[in-house]
Amino acid sequence: MKIFITGGGGFVGGALVHRLIAEGHEVLALARSGPSIRRVRAAGAEPVPGDLTDPPPWLARLREADAVVHVAAHMEFWGPDALFERANHVPTVALHAASVAAGVRRFVLVSAASVSTGSQRRPVVDESTPEGRPNIAYSRVKLATERALRGAPGGNTELVVLRPPFIWGRGMTTIDELAGVAEAGRFAWIDHGRHIVDFVHVGNLVAATLLALTRGRSGGVYYVTDGAPTPIRDFLTPLLATRGVDLSKSRSVPLAVAAPMAALMDRTARLLRRKSAPPLTNWLVSFTGRDRSYDITAARSELGYSPDVTLEKGLAEMSSS
């Protein structure tokens, strides 16, 4: 197959490019900067210079593709909805419409499991669970984008949506800030880190994405995880240890204290239109202070997904890098 990818120079997209090339596919990868172009080319793909927010003339290359995988996204845990609408929603809707017009057979959207993090408090959710209202703009806009694409004219283009939770693995940068907080002695568990979290290794997400190129229902939405929900202490402690960070002496705050404190800090920062997040937010309490896992039965049965990279294997890879 010939696959058009966005975000091919990033953490997830880069891993996907390597896997697709290794399996004999042709890859066109949108790249907006010199370093991204070089990474894409080094991986064996053809870089397509361009930016999602400024489509012409690269949109013409979609006519060559059998499928499109949309990985690229502006991701932050803080910011106004309008920022993510401009950076993520509008370009994604336009890319999907252009893919349909170009006759692309399948469009795979890498969304986020956090579309159900917020007012939805169930400890285990699946694709039939109402999402509620997400508590950060990134996730609210992701959910709105999913719904927009599922409701848009699809022509002969089949849409598949993947919802990964926290993505981890060698090369990740999302724990850099957390490592800095811990090294400064400002890290704290909620309820001693006993709450359940779910996550997905980048290799497992890549495997699911490859399956979604040919399997799954048109319009199907699938949570994709490592299939191993774990107390957050048992996940973050060894993960940060790969960066030389020791969490063994970190203090703990009860959820009954953390939740109202986060609500006050969150509300105040938004009212003051602060550009950066406060130390404690509603989202952080949701992630670290409440049990949440995702049922991946649909991904297993409809995509044929089976997560092969275990926590132990992934940590070993990170420790040796």
CA dist 239 and 242 (Å) reads: 6
As given in the structure block, the two tokens for residue 52 are: 């999602």
**138 in catalytic set:** yes
How big is the chain, counted in residues? 321
Q: How far is CA 109 from CA 16, 76, 147, 237, in A?
A: 13, 18, 12, 31
Q: Which residue has 């252009």 as its token pair?
A: 98
- What letter does residue 184 receive in the DSSP assignment? T
* Residue 131 and residue 183 in contact, taking contact as beta carbons nearer than 8 Å: no
Paired sense of beta strands 196-197 and 230-231, if any: antiparallel
Which phi and psi angles does 78 have, rounded to 5°? -150, 150
Give the phi and the psi of residue 66 in degrees, each rounded to 5.
-80, -30
Rounded Cα distance between 72 and 22, Å, is 21
Q: How far is CA 200 from CA 17, 48, 294, in A?
A: 18, 28, 11
Tell me, what DSSP letter sits at residue 190?
E
Q: Which position among 138, 222, 294, 305 bears the catalytic label? A: 138
H-helix or E-strand spanning residue 176: helix 176-183
Partners of 110 in beta bridges:
162
Catalytically active residues, by annotation: 138
